[in-house]
A and B are shown apart, each in its own frame.
Chain A
Amino acid sequence: MEQRLRDEARALLEQGKVDYIVGFEPGSLKFTITPLITRDKEEVERLVINPFMVNNLANFLTELKGRVGIVAKGCDSRSIVSLIQDNKVAREDVVILGIPCPGIIDLNKVERLISKDRDELGDIIREGDKVVITADGKRSEFPITEVLYDNCLGCELPTPQEYDILLGEPTLPVTDNSTSQAKIEQLKGMSPQPRWEFWNNELSRCIRCYACRNVCPACFCQRCFVEETEPQWLMPVPRWQDNLMFQVIRNIHVAGRCTDCGECERACPVNIPLRSLTKEMYDIVSELFHFKAGMDKDAAPLMTHYEQEEAEDFIR
């Protein structure tokens, strides 16, 4: 599958069908990948497909000028479709190299299972519905569901529906919804006061790095609301109150466009459980509007579209 990807990418560049290829290449740390953004057909030989392809590459589409051949897992392809719905990207400007995704391995979960840091591990190999981890010569086996990301365990579209080239056979999701929703259910089970204190505490660690916003394909505003000074919506100071408001407002802004790719939570350097907010928003949108982002290229974007026959009578 990797070689096919490289061949297709090379062909796209050689034939002038795209200006850029965006995919994954091995990172500089163990079990890490990093985005490869290139115009050079020799560099596409570095493209890889592996269980650690975390980034949502759709994020780069709103920045690159030109036609892009882009590697996309299921959730990423939904982000691309969502951008097309928002008119940020033209369908004819992307060549989607779809990758049926069996789930991405969360290195934090691996580290907790083995009680070792990632650079101390020997190898992490997926074997079907199991994962084999070697460390210090010892071999341990776990069900794959114990090491996949929470959002992967709740995956609704592992194989891209919108693609130009599909690299591999469509795959079925490996789900474990109760694990996927565990943190959220726990929060929902809390009464308001402890839940409020939970978020005060978590958001006190926030340093306002904005990684959550910057990894998100749905956050493509040229000037984010936090950067406005007239009026000053939020203080740029990392107090938990301002940090909380940042998350609340950001979630409202991406409602209807978030595809639960999980990048925000993964990117957070201080382990704030951001997906507990974004996935809940995702579910609220699904429940209220029967809408899931990026499923239908021809559908109108949820929040910016008005129909004569609105469900709510206050707006008719």
Chain B
Amino acid sequence: MAITDISHRRRFLAQGNVYLPHIAVIEKIIEETPGVRTLHFNFKDEKLREEFAFESGQFGEFSVFGIGEAPFCISSSPTRRDHLEFTVQRAGKVTNALHRLGVGAEIGFRGPYGNSFPLDQLQGKNLVFVGGGIGLAPLRSLIWNVIDNREQYQNIDIIYGARSPADLCFGYDLDAWDRDKTVNMVITVDRGDEGWTGRVGLVPHVLEQVAPATDNAVAIVCGPPIMIRFTFPALAKLGFTPEQMLTTLEKRMKCGIGKCGRCNIGNLYVCRDGPIFTYAQIKNFISSEY
């Protein structure tokens, strides 16, 4: 049984030790919402800065030395390489520590780990992005990747929602995609506020209203687990097959390289065989564990 061969990704090991992080410096911080911030960073080592490469969907293990390490997807696109970005929601020890860092702070980075969105299978297709809350972060890497190579793809629909207007992340991207005539940007919130004049509705419901065509289409979904669990049936109702649905899963991770054991779904490890999976892969195997 072949394991995902990712031996070619060993090229970014620090001193030959896969567990040793590289040092990176925070260059810019964007407070997306009260609990979410995006950090822009670059490696301290010049050579690594030049050589480092990753693909949309991959993640890194980020360290706040002395506090711990946590996995976050690289939310910037490989087509825009003057810096790297990751987005953090405040939830526990490491994320709270990341929220206390300022520009110039040093962090650790190991990666890139995981598989990536299969661009070769997306080219020439109509793409439907469905995102919720901070789930837009991994999608964002792919969206900019696709937009920067626009002619290789057909229609682009982006359906994105959050709990409330204050929880919408990446406002600057949403504006840019809204202005982009080649992209159909649909924004919704679960609950509006006084100033909100836009759409109100849960993402899966809005998806059904938008009703993107399924012909030659691929849906890429990311959001809180509850949203994902309602979005798959909604897509199925529209006629998407399980192979036409991609998602990126999140699990508690430590090593990021398939050794510590904790992120498994059946025999698949989210860090090694994912985090990108088709619904067909997950559905056919262990549906009660994701």
Q: Which residues of A contact B (CB under 8 A)?
A: 229-230, 232
Chain A interface, DSSP helix/strand/loop, else mixed: loop
Chain B residues within 8 Å of A230, by CB: 92-93, 96
How far apart sit A232 and B96, CA to CA, in the bound complex (Å)?
Answer: 13
| Complex: A232 Cα to B94 Cα, angstroms | 12
Q: Within the complex, what minimum Cβ distance (angstroms) separates B40 from chain A? A: 26
Interface pairs (6), CB distance under 8 Å: A229-B92, A229-B93, A230-B92, A230-B93, A230-B96, A232-B93
**Contact residues in A for B93 (Cβ distance below 8 Å):** 229-230, 232
| Residues of chain B contacted by A229 (CB below 8 angstroms) | 92-93
**CA–CA, A229 to B92, complex, Å?**
8
Number of A-B pairs whose CB atoms are under 8 Å? 6
Query: Once bound together, how far apart are the Cα atoms of A230 and B94, in whole Å?
Result: 10
Which residues on B are within 8 Å of A, measured CB to CB? 92-93, 96
CB distance from B26 to the nearest CB of A (A): 22
Task: Please measure, in the bound complex, the distance between the C-alpha atom of A263 and the C-alpha atom of B10, giving whole angstroms.
Answer: 48
Q: How far is the CB of B96 from chain A (nearest CB, A)?
A: 7
With a cutoff of 8 Å between Cβ atoms, the chain A residues found around residue B96 in the complex are: 230
Instruction: Name the CB-closest residue of A to B68.
Output: A229
Taking CB atoms, residues of chain B closer than 8 Å to A232 are 93
Closest CB in chain B relative to A96 CB, distance in Å:
37
B96 — nearest CB in chain A belongs to which residue?
A: A230
Give the Cβ gap from B19 to chain A, nearest Cβ, in Å.
Answer: 16
**Complex Cα–Cα for A284 and B93 (A):** 37
In Å, the complex CA distance between A232 and B93 comes to 9
Report the nearest A residue to B93, measured CB to CB. Answer: A229
Closest B residue by C-beta to A228: B93
Residue of B nearest to A230 (CB): B93
User: Closest residue of chain B to A229, judged by CB?
Assistant: B93
Q: A229 vs B93: C-alpha distance in the bound complex, in angstroms?
A: 6
Q: Report the separation of the CA atoms of residues A230 and B92 in the bound assembly, to the nearest whole angstrom.
A: 7
Q: In angstroms, how far is the closest chain A Cβ from the Cβ of B69?
A: 13
A231 (CB) vs chain B CBs: closest residue: B93
A229→B94 CA distance, assembly (Å): 9
Minimum CB–CB distance for B164 against chain A, Å = 26
- A127 to B: closest C-beta gap in Å: 50
Question: Bound state CA distance, A260 and B92, in angstroms?
Answer: 37
User: B98 to nearest A CB, angstroms?
Assistant: 13
Whole-angstrom CA separation of A26 from B96 in the bound complex = 50
Q: Which residue of A lies closest to B94 (CB)?
A: A229
CA distance A232 to B66 in the complex (A): 12
CB-nearest residue of chain A relative to B97? A230
* Nearest CB of chain B from residue A284's CB, rounded to whole Å: 35
Question: Separation in Å of the A154 CB from the closest CB of chain B?
Answer: 42
- The 3 A-B pairs at the shortest CB distance, nearest first, are namely A229-B93, A230-B93, A229-B92
CA distance A232 to B92 in the complex (A): 11
* Minimum CB–CB distance for B219 against chain A, Å: 36
**A residues in contact with B92, CB < 8 Å:** 229-230
From residue A231, how far is it (CB to closest CB) to chain B in Å?
A: 9
Query: Measured between C-beta atoms, what is the minimum distance from A230 to chain B in Å?
Result: 5
CA distance A253 to B197 in the complex (A): 54
Q: What is the minimal beta-carbon distance from B152 to any residue of chain A, in angstroms? A: 44
A71 to chain B: closest CB distance in Å?
Answer: 34
B247 to chain A, nearest CB (A): 28
Bound complex: CA of A134 vs CA of B96, how far in Å? 63
Say how far A4's CB is from chain B's closest CB, in angstroms.
Answer: 42
Question: What's the least CB distance linking B94 to chain A, in Å?
Answer: 9
Please give me the residue from chain A that is nearest to B92 by CB atom.
A229
A230 to B67, CA, bound (A): 10
Q: How far is the CA of A232 from the CA of B67 in the complex (A)?
A: 10
Question: A229 vs B97: C-alpha distance in the bound complex, in angstroms?
Answer: 12
Docked complex Cα distance between A229 and B96 (Å): 11
The CA of A232 and the CA of B97, in the complex, are separated in Å by 13
**A147 CB, nearest partner CB in chain B, Å:** 41
Give the shortest distance, in Å, between A228 (CB) and chain B (any CB). Answer: 9
Q: In the complex, A230 Cα to B91 Cα: how many Å? A: 11
C-alpha spacing A65/B92, complex, angstroms:
30
| Shortest distance from the beta carbon of A68 to any chain B beta carbon, whole Å | 28
Whole-angstrom distance from the CB of B211 to the nearest CB of chain A? Answer: 43
CA distance A230 to B97 in the complex (A): 11
Whole-angstrom CA separation of A71 from B274 in the bound complex: 48
